[in-house]
């Protein structure tokens, strides 16, 4: 693999490039935003208050890491615990339990890119209605249980396999997600194509995912690579996920030396704040948000089911998506410059709206990384000695705070303060 490509696919590049954007912000040289860092303390107060409200005074140790698991528990219904209990009664050993959860989480996370403001899911057999990430989680759980992602329809339990994904029929997601003209979801066709591509990629790597291309087989592979080591390595895990997923993203995005590099985008701020260069790769800001969200989510079954711990977890970054980023816009830390605001308003007539690869959105996401890192230190300083991981801050703090502020500011839609035209494969 080309060295420039290898670097841009790395976790280190995500923070390296965001750091440069942060330096441009300090110098007042962002292209599209004014930064009011003096308001960051107010954001830290708000985020800390939410963490203490929900987990204080003595339950901070129970804060889960940011991941897919808790979305399945929406409505305080222990759906995953119910699955595990049923599988154990069938005689499943812990290794197979972990494989099955990885199967489920893998597909569910990759389907979890913004559903839009109008989609809802009614849980079968109930009148409970869910939206956004939790709705997608519950919908994907029922599809998983119905063997929608498997070629094996009469096995002893639900699994995901490459051929089942590769042969996913058009309309399967529309049916499973209860999509209709009155209940629309963004990017349904893109999501179906993403799962078909995932199936092909899984089948192309039998050394990791087995001849059947089962996502859950990564459990066995990671245990094998760890050998006698006491901890699994996030960096090894990351390379496996990137090798698997880079081929499945839309191939008409950023390309470096003939290689599409996924969720990584040219950014004018990087180009203008560095010394002039003919190397276009130096002006690319990588994020790899869905892959990081997947990594955070998949790490949890290893810990909870197999009692395996991870090292190099601090290599993972904040997630540059609209909840974390919207927090800083809604609370006045990031303010769109007038020209960017007017262009965004012209595109929508309501809230400012931009495409996922628009320079405004890329700069917003880069600044989200910068500001969450700064906020992390400020929140820890307000937690009276309680230590939180980045994954816990995202879960109990920034993501939840961003959602609550959006609900308060826009109660009808609860949407982000900046709208993104998503194809269902980025956010």
Q: In whole angstroms, how far apart are CA 43 and each of 159, 254, 406?
A: 42, 33, 14
Beta pairing, strands 259-260 & 255-256: antiparallel
* Domains contained in the chain, number: 1
The reply to whether 252 falls in a domain is yes
Give the confidence band of 406 by pLDDT, cuts at 50, 70, 90. Answer: very high
Q: Helix 79-89 and helix 132-145: axis angle, to 10°?
A: 20
Q: In whole angstroms, how far apart are CA 220 and each of 297, 306, 312, 332, 377?
A: 17, 11, 20, 47, 36
The reply to whether 99 falls in a domain is yes
The reply to whether 242 falls in a domain is yes
The reply to whether 341 falls in a domain is no
Question: Residues 344-348: what's their mean pLDDT?
Answer: 88
User: Which residue's structure tokens are 């991941």?
Assistant: 67
Give the confidence band of 116 by pLDDT, cuts at 50, 70, 90. Answer: confident
The reply to whether 328 falls in a domain is no
Q: Which domain holds residue 95?
A: 67-270+298-313
What tens digit of pLDDT does each residue of 178-235 get?
999 999 988 888 889 999 999 999 999 999 999 999 999 999 999 999 887 789 999 9
Average pLDDT value over all residues in the chain: 93
Give the confidence band of 386 by pLDDT, cuts at 50, 70, 90. Answer: very high
Instruction: Report the pLDDT value the prediction gives residue 278, as an integer from 0 to 100.
Output: 72
Instruction: Report the pLDDT value the prediction gives residue 153, as an integer from 0 to 100.
Output: 67
Instruction: Report the pLDDT value the prediction gives residue 251, as an integer from 0 to 100.
Output: 83
Question: Residues 372-392: what's their mean pLDDT?
Answer: 96
Contact 18, 370 (CB under 8 A): yes
The reply to whether 162 falls in a domain is yes
CA proximity to 67, closest of 398, 402, 394 = 394
β-bridge mates for residue 180, sequence order: 183
121-129 long-range Cβ contacts below 8 angstroms, 24+ apart: 121/177, 121/178, 122/178, 128/75
Contact 274, 196 (CB under 8 A): no
Which of the residue ranges 168-172, 358-362, 394-398 would you say has the lowest mean pLDDT?
168-172
Question: Residues 284-291: what's their mean pLDDT?
Answer: 95
CA proximity to 106, closest of 346, 284, 266, 291 = 291
CA proximity to 112, closest of 98, 96, 130, 97 = 130
The reply to whether 362 falls in a domain is no
The reply to whether 392 falls in a domain is no
Which of the residue ranges 142-156, 229-243, 322-336, 371-385 would you say has the lowest mean pLDDT?
142-156
**Is 0.85 topped by the overall pTM?**
yes
Give the confidence band of 272 by pLDDT, cuts at 50, 70, 90. Answer: confident
Question: Residues 127-138: what's their mean pLDDT?
Answer: 93
What tens digit of pLDDT does each residue of 232-254 get?
999 999 999 999 999 998 888 89
Alpha-carbon distance of 192 to 86, in angstroms, equals 29
């Amino acid at each position: 693999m080309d060295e420039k490509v290898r670097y841009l696919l790395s976790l280190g590049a995500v923070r390296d490039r965001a750091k440069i954007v942060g330096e441009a912000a300090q110098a007042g040289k962002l292209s599209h935003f004014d930064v009011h860092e003096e308001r960051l303390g107010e954001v830290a107060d708000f985020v800390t208050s939410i963490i203490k409200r929900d987990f204080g005074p003595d339950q901070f140790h129970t804060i889960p890491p940011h991941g897919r698991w808790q979305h399945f528990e929406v409505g305080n219904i222990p759906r995953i615990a119910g699955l595990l209990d049923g599988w154990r009664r069938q005689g499943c050993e812990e290794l197979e339990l972990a494989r099955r959860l990885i199967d489920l989480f893998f597909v569910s996370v990759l389907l979890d890119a913004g559903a839009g403001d109008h989609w809802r899911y009614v849980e079968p057999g109930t009148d409970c209605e869910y939206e956004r990430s939790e709705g997608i989680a519950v919908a994907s759980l029922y599809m998983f249980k119905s063997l929608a992602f498997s070629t094996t329809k009469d096995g002893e339990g639900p699994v995901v396999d490459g051929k089942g994904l590769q042969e996913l029929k058009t309309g399967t997601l529309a049916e499973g997600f209860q999509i209709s003209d009155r209940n629309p979801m963004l990017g349904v066709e893109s999501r179906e194509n993403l799962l078909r591509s995932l199936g092909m990629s899984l089948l192309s790597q039998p050394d990791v995912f087995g001849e059947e291309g089962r996502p859950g087989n990564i459990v066995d592979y990671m245990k094998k690579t760890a050998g006698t080591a006491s901890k699994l390595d996030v960096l090894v895990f990351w390379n496996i996920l990137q090798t698997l997923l880079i081929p499945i993203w839309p191939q008409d995005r950023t390309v470096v030396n003939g290689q599409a590099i996924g969720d990584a985008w040219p950014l004018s701020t990087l180009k203008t704040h560095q010394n002039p260069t003919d190397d276009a790769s130096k002006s690319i800001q990588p994020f790899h948000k869905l892959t990081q969200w997947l990594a955070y989510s998949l790490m949890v079954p290893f810990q909870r089911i197999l009692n395996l711990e991870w090292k190099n977890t601090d290599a993972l970054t904040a997630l540059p998506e609209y909840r974390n980023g919207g927090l800083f816009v809604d609370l006045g830390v990031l303010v769109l410059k007038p020209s960017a605001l007017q262009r965004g308003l012209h595109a929508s007539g309501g809230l400012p709206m931009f495409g996922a690869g628009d320079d405004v959105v890329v700069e917003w996401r880069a600044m989200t990384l910068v500001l969450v890192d700064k906020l992390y230190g400020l929140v820890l300083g307000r937690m009276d000695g309680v230590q939180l991981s980045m994954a816990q801050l995202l879960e109990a703090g920034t993501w939840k705070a961003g959602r609550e502020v959006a609900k308060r500011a826009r109660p009808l839609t609860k949407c982000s303060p900046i709208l993104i035209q998503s194809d269902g494969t980025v956010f």
